[in-house]
Structure formats: structure tokens, C-alpha cells
Chain A
Amino acid sequence: MAKAMLNDVNKCIGCRACQVACKEWHDLPAEQTTNRGTYENPPDLSADTWTKIIFKEYSNDGTLRWLFRKEQCMHCTNAPCVNVCPSDALQRHPTLGFVTYDRHKCTGCGYCVEFCPFDIPRMDKESNKLLGTGLMGGKCDFCFDRVSNGLEPACAKACPTGAIKFGEWEDLVAEGKQRVEALKENHPDANFYGEHELGGLHMLYVLDEKPEVYDLPVGPQMPAAATALNVGEWTGVGLGLLVGGGMLGAAMLARARMIEGKKEEESAED
């Protein structure tokens, strides 16, 4: 029922077909970039770049490796961004499981940027929103339109080596964990990332080095402030209290008037 994507860093060749496919499908513009001494570009995610490959030269006890990892919204089950969004711009899809974004509702408050444990959402400076050129935008939208029409996301389709797979969450967790076991022979630190983190991520990773080597947070948590400051709920409760209190007050006032009126009537009859 719930969908997911499995990113297998060990199969990734860093070709960036996924980066281009994402832009092609969503008609996102290219950014101006320079060569900063790496193949990695653009330097950061943005309102116009929803996914990118991180390149890292890594020397593990003398053996050189060149690591590639696709970075994008992790579509957490217990997504802090969804909790903190005051305007329902970010929501959890009830059946497919990923995090949707509706820019029409975005107020530009920036709480999601502050509370995402993976540092994914990016504000567009001009419009002060997570921008997008369509209804859904600003961050990976799991190709919601493709998925709900029985197709796979653009990046998963484009990936030449099958490093990105799309399917059922349970199936991909099982497949990913099997793959991790097979990798352990040559990569003893291989691990599976996303099964339990934040209630389960819908972007799962087969990693062949520890998460921190791939710049992934170990055991990311729902930030305490995001739980306490469940803005929407508190706003609603606060408002409810206010209004409820107001209504109570009005009712009391009405009753008081009624009693007053009755008293007047009674005194008039005397």
C-alpha cells in the first residue's frame, strides 16, 4: 500500500540522469553554476533543484573509494515538517505515504526549513515560499502525478543501473536488507537506512559505509520543539479555546440577560 524508493549507493554511478529526469518531468529551470573543484553541481538543493548527487572521495584504510549519494526529501512517515506546518501546505499522503506540498497554501513561515532533520526544504527568496512551477513543488514530490497514474517516478525510471527502485515499502525494505547482507562481504559497514527512522522513511537507502560517511544523520529524531510546537494543533486548540471561551461567555451573557429579562418581567407583574 505505502510506496517507497530504494536508493542503492553501491549501484549508483553518479551519472545524474536522475537530476535531469526530475527537471525534465517538472520543467524546472537550470541554475547558473561554476566548477568549484568537484563534479558536484548545483552546490545545493533549491526551489529549482529537488534532487542532486553528492560526490565524495573517501579513503577507507588506504583503499580509495568514490562515493555517490542521491539527496532529496526523505518523505518521512513522522515528518517533522508536516507537524510544524501551520497552513497544511505540507501533508502526509494518507495511503501512498509520502509528503506532499501545496505551494498555494504555503505562508513562507520557514518552520519546515528549520525543523527538517535532513536539511531538505529550501525557500525561494523571491516568492518567500518553497517554490514550484506546478501545483506541487519546492522539494521532491515523489512524482505524485506519475505514481497516482500507475507510473514510476522520473528518477527511478531514468536510473541506468537500477540504483533507484520504486515499489511497495515492505518489499523494498526486504530487498534492501538482503542486498545489505550481500554487500557485507566486501563492505563490512554496510547498513540499511530508513526502516525505523522517523517512523520509517519512504526514501530508503542501502549504504555500503556508515551513514555518517554519507553525511546522513544517525538515528534522526522528531525534534522536541516540533512535537511541543505542533503549531497547527496548538493554533487550533488556542483558537478553539478562544472561541469556545467566547461562546461560553456569550451564552453566559445571554443567560444572564434572560435571567435579567425574567426578573424584569416578574417585577413588572408585581
Chain B
Amino acid sequence: MKLCGGTAAGAALLGMLGPESFAEAAPIDIPLRKRIGEKTSICCYCGVGCGVIVASDENGKATSIEGDPDHPINQGALCSKGASLIQVTNNERRLDKVLYRAPYSSDWEEVSWDWAIDKIARNIKKTRDENWTYEDERGRIVNHTEAIGWDGSAVVNNEEAYLFTKFARALGITYLEHCARLCHSSTVAALGSSFGRGAMTNHWIDIKNSNCIMIIGSNAAENHPLAFKWVTEAMEQDAELISVDPRFTRTSSKADTYARMRSGTDVAFIGGMIKYVIEDIEGHPENYNMTYIKEYTNATLLVDPGFKGPADLDGLFSGYDPAKRAYDRSTWVYQLDEKGIPKRDTSLKDPNCVFQLLKKQYSRYDVDTVCSVTGTAKDVYRKVCETYAATGKPDKSATIIYAMGTTQHTNAAQMIRSYSMLQLLLGNIGVAGGGINAARGQSNVQGSTDHCVLYHILPGYLKTPHPEDVDLEAYLKHYTPTSNDPLSANWWGNYDKYIVSLLKAWYGDAASASNDFAYEYLPKVEGDHSHIAAAEAMNDGIIKGFMSPGHNTAVSGPNANLEREWLGNLDWLMVSDLWESETAAFWKRPGVDPAQIKTEVFLLPAQASMEKEGSITNSGRWSQWRYKCCDGPDMARSDLWMVTELIKKVKELYDTEGGEYPDPILNLAWDYGDPPDVHKVAKEINGYDLEAGELLPSFTKLKSDGTTSSGNWLYCASYTEDGNMAARRDPTQTPEQANIGLYPNWSWCWPVNRRIIYNRASVDLDGNPFNPDKPVINWHPLRGKWEGDVPDGGWPPMSQEGTKLPFIMTSEGRGHIFAPGTLLKDGPIPEHYEPWESPVGNLLSNTQSDPAVTIWKSLVKGDASKYPIVATTYRVSEHWLAGQMTRNLPWLVELMPEMFVEVSEELAEEKGIENGKKVIVESARGKIEAVAVVTKRFTPFSINGKRVHQIGMPWHWGYMGLSKGDSANVLTPNIGDANTTIPEYKAFLCDIMAK
């Protein structure tokens, strides 16, 4: 027997002892389980505009999508929706056929693209020709059809949105809308009338520069999580976060101060803060930026002595006509001197100066009254006032982040105006960490708004012509503001250059000085043609054909039951979407018999954001280029391709068959190649020097003589001879720019890459920053120019010759604390009104609700005796808008599987409602079923001593999709803001009961 054999056996024995030392060890490293992609895109969900990177396989299918670590806004992070993007592109529920539903049929049939395009084009022509108006009954040339409607889209690329508006206008469509109407139309009216431009003033990263952030009418942690990244950064630098909300939300959970406020009472809340600030300015002017208030705002300007406000007129302003429910605004104007320049009182004491009018207006908004209206605890309210007012110091700034909680009311524009006024009093506009950050909720709603897929405006926020605007000269006279003040830049004075350049872009050589630059081709529109009006027109059988790309009105429109019913009045409906949406399938929704519905429906399969190339504009006005990263279903096409195919066919039909006024169609310039090249569209939007044949460097080069073209003057400078500015990915910054996170070389923003607008209000009269720690711009005296951000007008500082006032887009050059003239329909300064449906009377006056709101004939009002509970609608982080983009994704449905309603513990006890069990919620317009989430985060309000309950629910659900449920909009009223008719989704009445 050999000893060595024993040793070997012994060694083998020992090898079986103990797990680590001798067993096969775990690997020290392993390869990545899949590739991480290099192709870049921008997320398709909210308006933050996060960068993503996509990897795909040899078949072109995405294999991984995650955050782009180089992108300055999200830096690789994403929210739950962004993180699930791969389930948008790889999903068996994606539409991969062109579908057609014949009248009265109960099924889809599969058709070819050619067949569908041909049929839709023929429908367009037939409806247009049979319903064409050349001259209206007053003999005015209108050149339009009211019988075709268009709604969509906030999620297509800029180049596609631009082509939508170009296409629709060429056809003479008047009912042209997209969902900006429903979400931020009130923002455009309010911010435009306050500062001159209707957009977010700062940008997402800039939030980190703030000393105090007030999130009101927004739940940013929920719905703009990557914006909340920057809120978190600011808080790490000791910024205070104030959350104002009827419900304690995910945002409230992070706030230093949470202030409860009943839905719809923003004007009271802010009005009280304005009162506090005014009194503090008078008592301690040294704590405020008096230079800013006196020089940069219109606080010193004198108003016509005939102007009277709610303090004198019991809630009304001078000039109200109750029969018309409208104001004669001729007293809402400035007093002018002999040169036509507004008179001023720099002591702020004249009873007609804006400051004193403001003081008078808000003297009624004492703490007791305000808190009786809003239901806020007084000590909390006082704390909010003190904390926020402390940012009135020149070297402090505060920002307001708001969203639908503010915008979706009958007096929404006034609510936003109150935020603007507060910010102007505190010197917070144009500075780092300041501004009004209107948080837009769709990836390209900003772009679609800029390209004006809206009935009342043309690309670049030019006005749609009215029948009274008989020719270009009349049009320009009507809309070009004038100013006699040499200090006012009055930049809208360049109107003629922009409209002529637009017409040249659309009609090329067919637009010349000899034919008024084809002005006659533009359809003239009179009266309200917004979403609610269009729905009424559908009800009345005026709209016969409807085109709805990338929009789901059956879930997102107010009074959803009626809107769904009215879709059945249409002769034909075209929908393009990634999924079979509620709108596309309205004819087979629960409770209806398809055999009774005549509407012919076309459902066109669309490509998703990462499956096509183009640019989108985030809420901060950044236009970001994104690329085709992967393939979707074979049959899916881009909207760029679809609209191009349609116009080709429509042109062909008019060319061969003739028809009503074919000129705007036949002469429409549409030379993007076949298939259309998105870069050619982007270049057209930028514009050309037509004589030199070169791309223009900025809108300062646009002319009114027909030698320049530009599809959208605001985007002129986005695609120049130096290249595609929106595609830039250069993180380089100067130290001053890096200090405030400006990122001027990443993507491109309008106007002319100016990141913080109104920034010449961030410096004193000599051009020195009010806050030397966070300068946005500063004047370099030796170089004689501004450094930092692109200055908002390159003129020298206010103390020098040749200067201009900093708010260059207003007619007098100053920020509007008082919004003069015809800027708004319901008042130059906000007054509190109750929501149209309210359980209590108005404590501030006897004018119960906004007196300038249109009452639609289909409107049904709920009475508090039957519906005593205040209801509001909102969103969850995991779902998005009308839901077809998230309720078809398994990972998101896993997180939020069912429609629910949030109820206070007190109300649940009163009604015998159990957590997790079904309930019925009912309003005057309908009823829905939902799961009850009984929570401490809602508690009853005490309003003027009365107990008022409030409940809330997400509105994402509908009868289609992987996760189905009842739609909250079945309950909401089809009544909207006085200025823009954005629906009052946020405050209405209901009742609730256990099922």
C-alpha cells in the first residue's frame, strides 16, 4: 500500500470541507448581460426632456434603453416611465396594421397604406368641397371650411407639428387644435400678457439656483421627477421648499412647508401674499429691489382714472356687459402723455398708479379672509408669506413651479397672472433661480405650441387672421403693437417680417408682393374654435370629418360621455397612434351598439419617438434633436411620412379633378423629398435668405420684402449654415455659465439660444448683476458688451444712451403687474372667483364665478345639495395622460394597476367606504367606478366655518388597453377659462358611495 495514494485520497477528502476556501468560487467579474446603447433619443413622456440611450440588435429591435449619462438635465437618471421605454417599442400591443372600420361595422378590417391614404384624401376633398366658404354672409373673404376638425399632437416631432399646421391651414381648416389647449393654453395667455412671451422663463437645471421653491398647482416629484432632481439640488444648498396643494402629495412629503389649499382658490392664496408683500414694501423698502419694481415693472405707470376694480364694483371690473358676459376694456389702459408715452409716478403714491391699484385690490385679502376661503391653517399661511417674501431681496430668488393644478380652471389665466405679479414685485423674473417655471407635461407640447397647432395662432405666435383683416396691411395694422417710447424695444413691431417670411416658407414663389404674399390663402377665423367649441360643433353636425393624430380625446376631453357620443356624429375619423386607443375604438366602447354608429374610422399605425428622427422642445424651450434608434412594427410610419402622403394625394386630386379654391393646396410648397427628409423641414422652419440661398443665422435678418423665408421666426437660428443647433451635445461652459448650470452649448433654445429670458432685468441700471453670486449676464464696460447668457436684447445698460427696457416683448417694455388693454378678457389684475361648481359662496364678493366665461349649451351644472364634495383630478408618476402610452406597458401596469380615487379617512367613515374596495363617484355629468384609497393625505377643509370634503382621482384610465378602467373625465364639466377655454378639470362637485 502506497502512502501517496492515501495522501491523494486525503486531499480529495479535504476538498469537500467548507464552502469558500476550496469549492469552485464565484466569479470575480462577469460580462454585461446585454449591451448599453450609444444611439441617443429624448424620452417621449413629460416636458423635462430627459436623454436616453438605446441599444438594438441586428434586427433593429431595441434591447436596452436607459438614461443618457451625458445629458445635463437627467444625467442618466429616469423616472418609472422613462425607465420602461423599451416596452413602448417592444410590445405585442403595438399597432402593426393599417385598420379601417366601415360605417356601422362592429370590427376593424386590415387595409393597405395606399388604400387608406387614398380614402382619407378623398374624404378630405369631399368634405372640404361640400362645406367650403369663400365669402361669409357679410361679404368678407374667409376662405375656410368649418367641417373638418383637427386635434393633435403634443408628442410628434417639431418638424411634424409644423407640417400639421401647414397642412391644416392650406386646407382652410378652422377647427385646429392640439392638447396644449387642454393643458397650458392658460399659461400662454397669462405669461404672454405678463412678460411678453407665453413660456417657461427659466429652465429645469436653473431650479438649483433658487433660495425658495414654491410648488403650487403642481406635483413635481410625481409628474416631473427629473425636475425634482434639481429641486433636491437646491434643497441641498438650503433652499426652502413650499408645497401648496389640496392633498399631501409625493412633493409635499419632501417639503419644508406644506400648505393645504382648497382646489380653485389660488387667487385668494396669492392675493394674500401680494397684500403681505405690498405692506412690507411700504414698511421696509430696503428689503426689496425697488429699482426693479420701479424701473422694470409697470408699477409706476398711471392707469386711466375711469378704471375701477372689484373693490369698488363687487367683484367686477369697469366695462362689464352681463348680457354678453364680456368686458369693454377701454378703461383698462394707461394714461398717456402728449408724446403718447405712458405717464409714471415714481413715488408709487398716485392713486391711479398700478402699485396703488394693486394695494386697493388686495387690501380685502387679509389672512383671516384668505384662510377662510382656502382652508389653510393661518400659522402655516403666515409662514409661507414670510418665507416667500424674503426672496424680495436683490440677491435672493424664488421660483414658482406650477402645472395643471393652476392651468385647468375657469379663471386659470388669472391664477397664473397672480404668480407673475408676485414674482415681479419680488424682482424674481429674469434672474437665476427665479422665474415662472410652467411645467409642461408632454415631450413636445412646447414645440407644438410654438408651431401653433392651434386655431388662434400661426407659427411663432402670430395671430390667425380674422375676417375683418381684409388684407395683409389691415392684418398688420390690427396686430402690430406700437410704442412711442424710445426706451421700449417693442419687439413685436417686427410683425411684418415674421408673417411675410412665414408665407414665403409656405408658398415660395407663389407668394410675392404682387399678391399680398398669398395672404388670401390663409383661412380667416372668427369666434371660438377651441376644443370645447369644436366638441359642440361636432354635436351640432358642423364638423363632419375629424383628424386626430397622437391624441386621445375620448379620455382627455371634459365631459367624456358627451364627447364620445359626439364622435358618432362624424362622417369620418382619422386617428394615428401607437395603440388602439379609446378614441380610435369609440364606436365599440362599452354600452354602445356599433350598428348605430355611422362613423367611418381609419386607424393608422404610428412610429414611436425612438423609431424616428427629429427635434422636440422641452418645457425649458430647449429644442433637442433625437435619432432613430430602433425599429417598431413593420407597418408603422412616422407622422412626417403620413402627412406628406396625404398632401401629395390631396394635391393630386385637386390637380386632376379641380374643386373649391384649390390654390392654397396646389401652390403649397412641400419639397422635402420622398420619403420626406426631416432635416429639410427643420431648415425650412429656420428659414433662408432666398437671394443668397443660405440658411439665416437669426430672426434679426428676417425681412418683410419677400427676400427671406422662415416657417417659424422663433426657431430662426436653430438650423443655420453652422449646422443643426438642436443636435449639439457640447457641455462646455464658461465658469459663470457653469456656476448657474446654463449649458448654452447643449441643444438649442428659443429665442436665439437665450436660456433665461428677461435676463436684462437681472442687472441694475449700470449692468451689474443684482446677485453677484449667480450672475446671468453682466455688462463688460471695456468690451462694451454683455457676457454670460444671450442678453434679452443686446442694448447697453439702462444708464447709458441707446438703451431699452428689459421686457422687450411688451409694448411699453416693462413687466406687467397690471395687464393693460385687451390682453386678457376677464381682468387686468386677478380677483378671486369660486370654481364654476362650488359648494360655497364667494367670500370676496358677490360675483360667484368668473363672469367672462362662456357657458356652453350642452353644459350641465351640478348643485351642491346633490353633489356636496369637491372633486379634483390629477396624475400619477407611473401613468401618463390619457393612458394609452402607459396602460399598455406591463411594468407600469404592475405599479399602478387600477383606477382609484383618494378619500380622506373622515369621509370614508361617514360613507362607510373601506380601503381597497370599489366605490362609485358621481357628478352631474356621469358616474364611474374606482378603487378607494383611504388616506390621511386628504382631510376635510373648514371653509368659512363649513366642513367641506375634497376627493381626488387620476384621470389616466379608459376602456381600452392592458389595464382598463373608468375615465375620470366622465365626471368633469365642459366649461373653461375665460381667455382660452381650458377646461376646469381641477375643481368640480361630486358625490361618492361604497359600491
Contact = CB atoms under 8 A, between A and B. Distances in A.
Given A41-B894, A258-B1, A145 B17 contact: no
A57 B898 contact: no
Residue among B250, B890, B894, B932 with the highest chain A CB neighbour number at 10 A? B894
A59 to B, nearest CB: 7
Interface stretch (A86-94, A112-120, A190-198, A215-223): A86-94
Contact of A88 (B23, B29, B892): B23
Contacts of A267: none
A64 interface: yes
A249 interface: no
Interface in B223-273: 225-226, 228-229, 232, 248, 250-254, 256
Contacts of B936: 57, 59, 64
B67 A236 contact: no
A17 B82 contact: yes
Contacts of A93: 26, 28
A71 to B, nearest CB: 15
Contacts of A135: 30
Contacts of A127: none
Given A17-B83, A35-B931, A57-B935, A95 B77 contact: no
Contacts of B915: 37-38
Interface string A130-154: 0000111000000011101101001
A17 B78 contact: yes
B66 A149 contact: no
A85 interface: yes
Nearest to A133: B33
A134 to B, nearest CB: 6
Interface string A31-58: 1111111110110000000000000010
B916 A36 contact: yes
Interface residues of A, number: 74
Contacts of B914: 37
Given A57-B937, A161-B232, A258-B1, A134 B931 contact: no
Interface stretch (B7-15, B157-165, B516-524, B532-540): B7-15
A95 B25 CA distance: 12
Contacts of A186: 256
B946 to A, nearest CB: 23
B897 A247 contact: no
Contact of B25 (A15, A33, A91): A91
B19 interface: yes
Interface residues of B, number: 76
Contacts of B897: 32-35, 41
Interface in B75-110: 76-80, 82-84, 86
Interface string B105-138: 0000000000000000000000000000000000
B226 A37 contact: no
A14 B250 contact: yes
Nearest to A93: B26
A67 B252 CA distance: 11
B77 A159 contact: yes
A20 B225 CA distance: 14
A260 interface: no
B250 A15 contact: yes
B921 to A, nearest CB: 15
Given A13-B253, A24-B66, A158-B77, A149 B24 contact: no
Contacts of A23: 891
A144 B933 contact: no
A199 interface: no
A31 to B, nearest CB: 5
Residue among B28, B80, B876, B892 with the highest chain A CB neighbour number at 10 A? B80
Contacts of B222: 13, 15
B17 A19 contact: no
26 contacts: A13-B228, A13-B250, A14-B877, A17-B77, A17-B225, A20-B80, A20-B84, A20-B892, A24-B66, A24-B891, A30-B890, A33-B895, A35-B897, A39-B896, A57-B937, A66-B248, A82-B19, A85-B19, A88-B19, A91-B26, A148-B30, A149-B29, A157-B77, A160-B226, A240-B16, A244-B10
Interface of A: 10-11, 13-17, 19-21, 23-27, 29-39, 41-42, 57, 59, 64-68, 82, 85, 88, 91-95, 100, 102, 134-136, 144-146, 148-149, 151, 154, 157-162, 186, 232-233, 236-237, 239-240, 243-244, 247, 251, 254, 258
| 5 smallest beta-carbon distances between A and B, as pairs | A37-B916, A148-B29, A30-B890, A37-B915, A236-B17
Given A24-B66, A27-B34, 5 more contacts: A15-B79, A41-B895, A68-B253, A233-B18, A258-B1
